[in-house]
Amino acid sequence: MEEFLKTITEQIRCEKARDGAAQEIRNHILDQTAAYEKSGDDHDKALEKAVRDMGDPVEIGIALDAVHRPQLDWRLLAITLLLHIAGLAVMYGAYGSARFPRQCAYTVLGFAITIGVCFIDYTFIGRCCHIIYIAMTAAMFVFALSGVQINGRVPALSSLVYLYVPVFAGILYRLRGQGWGGIAKGALLALITAYITTEFSDRIFIGANIFVICIVLFAAAALKGWFKVSRKSAVCVAIAAIITPVAVLAFMTFYGVSYGSGYQAMRIKAAINPAKYANAQGYLPIQIRETLQGASMIGAYENQVPNELFVSSDLMLTYIIRAYGLLAAALLIFALAAFIIRAVNITRAQKNQLGFIISLGCMLIIAVNCLQGVLENFGYFPLTSVIMPFVTYGGSTAVMYSIIIGLLLSAHRYEKVLPDTQGTQAARRKWSINMCHEDGGRVIKIRL
């Protein structure tokens, strides 16, 4: 049997796939051996017959090599490159030659990081998630104290805190099979992560975004039965975990209880009724809605309010509408939607459970920020620090999204290479149905 397996694995060029493929074949051989032993054969004879039934090891190895091979998602990579180019074009129009060279450097660095992360085995997150979480928290704490501060906060942390999401996904993966204890740990960790990211970023909306993403990951894990409890009960806990703190926080924020000043409440009220709060937080929402009403399909929007006002307030989509017209903004939204759809497809295709939960978290980071960015730029969301991919200036944003996109590409790259240890039985059933070979004119299907 071992010689047979060695011959098979020698045909598989990807080293990461060899152990998983060999273990699957070994399981089938042992299962068939047990069946022959029940028929009266001794172990050695049963094992020999089971190995012979598998067929030509070279042909099996070649077939497995064709399946278990790293794959690069050229479509997502191409969309990423096009969006980087589009983002640079927009920023050149917005900032001119002052910031453009630096943003070009950020973009090149980011694209290099994406390629580098793509070729890294993402499963190290599942193995070292607790260490990564603690080390990341310590590093961000030091950065928050020593980094360059603007208005009392370090702007770079507003982007970098989103890197907690894939690490949270890795910890959630490690909680599988722990029952209600795992559920309690997951819900508590989501709250802790939301608090930490809110403090580091000094932005309550960013902490809320990360909390919502973590709870969605938690609910997805519950629906897949990771915790070995009633799925309905686990999902109800997830819903309660997200509704309760959000409701309390919304009440405190809306009535000016949190942070003492109540400016968060004013932003929410201004987004709902900008005319009433024009002297406070409603000025920009009014200008945004006027822009949408008066903008043309192609060409600049003529108005006394300078476009530079929107460049400095994270409203790049509004700037595009004012500077180039509605069609340019629609093309950008379409490209971002295509990117998100491709990320969704990568997530849905994942058979490895760790790959699924990490891909889902990365996809949600991009989708949530794009959705909020579009709503804010159309005047239907409170003005806050929304970090849209590809069109937000800054090195930290470029690095964060590059890592997130790289993890998506890595999950897709190793989709058919890395075995899912938790899905062994399902994988064996699939193998037993599909694996067949011809022996003397007979087609033999091996089934469990």
**Is residue 382 pLDDT above 90, yes or no?**
no
pLDDT of residue 133: 96
Judgement on whether residues 61 and 113 belong to the same structural domain of the protein:
no
Judgement on whether residues 147 and 226 belong to the same structural domain of the protein:
yes
pLDDT tens by residue, 297-334:
887 777 655 665 566 557 788 888 888 888 988 999 99
Which of 179-183, 294-298, 427-431 reaches the highest mean pLDDT? 179-183
pLDDT of residue 443: 43
Domain of 436, in residue numbers: 2-69+422-445
Separation CA 220–CA 231 (nearest Å) = 10
The residues that bridge with 438 in the sheet, in sequence order, are 443
- Within 10 angstroms of residue 75's Cβ, the number of other Cβ atoms is 14
Question: How far are the Cα atoms of 122, 135, 167, 441, 444 from residue 409, in angstroms, in the given order?
Answer: 10, 24, 17, 43, 38
Separation CA 279–CA 226 (nearest Å) = 51
**By three-state DSSP, how is residue 423 classified?**
helix
Judgement on whether residues 195 and 229 belong to the same structural domain of the protein:
yes
Q: Which residue has the tokens 């949530």?
A: 368
Pick the last residue of a domain from 242, 261, 280.
261
pLDDT of residue 252: 54
What backbone phi and psi angles, to 5 degrees, belong to 441? 90, -10
**By three-state DSSP, how is residue 153 classified?**
strand
* Inside any domain, residue 255: yes
Judgement on whether residues 168 and 232 belong to the same structural domain of the protein:
yes
Range in 149-153, 359-363, 415-419, 432-436 the model is least confident about: 432-436
* Inside any domain, residue 402: yes
* Inside any domain, residue 319: yes
**Is residue 213 pLDDT above 90, yes or no?**
yes
Question: How far are the Cα atoms of 281, 378, 379 from residue 287, in angstroms, in the given order?
Answer: 12, 10, 9
**By three-state DSSP, how is residue 308 classified?**
helix
Judgement on whether residues 193 and 141 belong to the same structural domain of the protein:
yes
Domain count, the chain: 3
**Is residue 167 pLDDT above 90, yes or no?**
yes
pLDDT of residue 311: 61
**Is residue 242 pLDDT above 80, yes or no?**
no
The larger pLDDT score, comparing residue 164 to residue 62, is at 164
CB 206 within 8 A of CB 194: no
Average pLDDT over residues 16-28: 78
Q: Retrieve residue 223's tokens.
A: 């629906």
Judgement on whether residues 147 and 242 belong to the same structural domain of the protein:
yes
**Is residue 154 pLDDT above 90, yes or no?**
no
| Closest to 339 in 3D by CA, of 80, 110, 73 | 80
The residues that bridge with 444 in the sheet, in sequence order, are 437
Judgement on whether residues 138 and 208 belong to the same structural domain of the protein:
yes
Dihedral angle of Cα 312, 316, 321, 323, to the nearest 10 degrees? 50
pLDDT tens by residue, 24-69:
888 888 888 888 888 888 888 888 888 888 888 878 777 776 666 6
pLDDT of residue 406: 95
pLDDT of residue 265: 54
Separation CA 51–CA 267 (nearest Å) = 70
Q: Residue 138: what residue type?
A: A
Judgement on whether residues 192 and 300 belong to the same structural domain of the protein:
no
* Inside any domain, residue 205: yes
Angle at 207 between CA 146 and CA 140, to 5 degrees: 25
Q: Which residue has the tokens 């094992």?
A: 47
* Inside any domain, residue 278: no
**Is residue 438 pLDDT above 50, yes or no?**
no
pTM reported for the whole predicted model: 0.76
Judgement on whether residues 203 and 132 belong to the same structural domain of the protein:
yes
- Mean per-residue pLDDT over the chain, rounded: 79
Range in 215-219, 258-262, 378-382 the model is least confident about: 258-262
Judgement on whether residues 80 and 62 belong to the same structural domain of the protein:
no
pLDDT tens by residue, 84-116:
999 898 888 888 777 888 889 999 999 999 999
Separation CA 2–CA 51 (nearest Å) = 10
DSSP 173-238: HHTTT-HHHHHHHHHHHHHHHHHHHHHHHT-HHHHHHHHHHHHHHHHHHHHTTTTSS-HHHHHHHH
**pLDDT above 90 covers what percent of the chain?**
27
Range in 2-6, 125-129, 228-232, 383-387 the model is least confident about: 383-387
Pick the last residue of a domain from 239, 261, 283.
261
Q: Retrieve residue 424's tokens.
A: 């062994």
H helix intervals, 96-203: 100-118, 124-146, 157-160, 164-174, 179-201
* Inside any domain, residue 10: yes
pLDDT-derived band at 260, boundaries 50, 70, 90? very low
pLDDT of residue 52: 86
Judgement on whether residues 140 and 178 belong to the same structural domain of the protein:
yes
* Inside any domain, residue 268: no
* Inside any domain, residue 349: yes
Judgement on whether residues 171 and 235 belong to the same structural domain of the protein:
yes
| Closest to 133 in 3D by CA, of 98, 170, 96 | 170
pLDDT of residue 313: 54
Question: How far are the Cα atoms of 205, 273, 304, 333, 414 from residue 371, in angstroms, in the given order?
Answer: 13, 20, 29, 10, 29
Separation CA 82–CA 317 (nearest Å) = 17
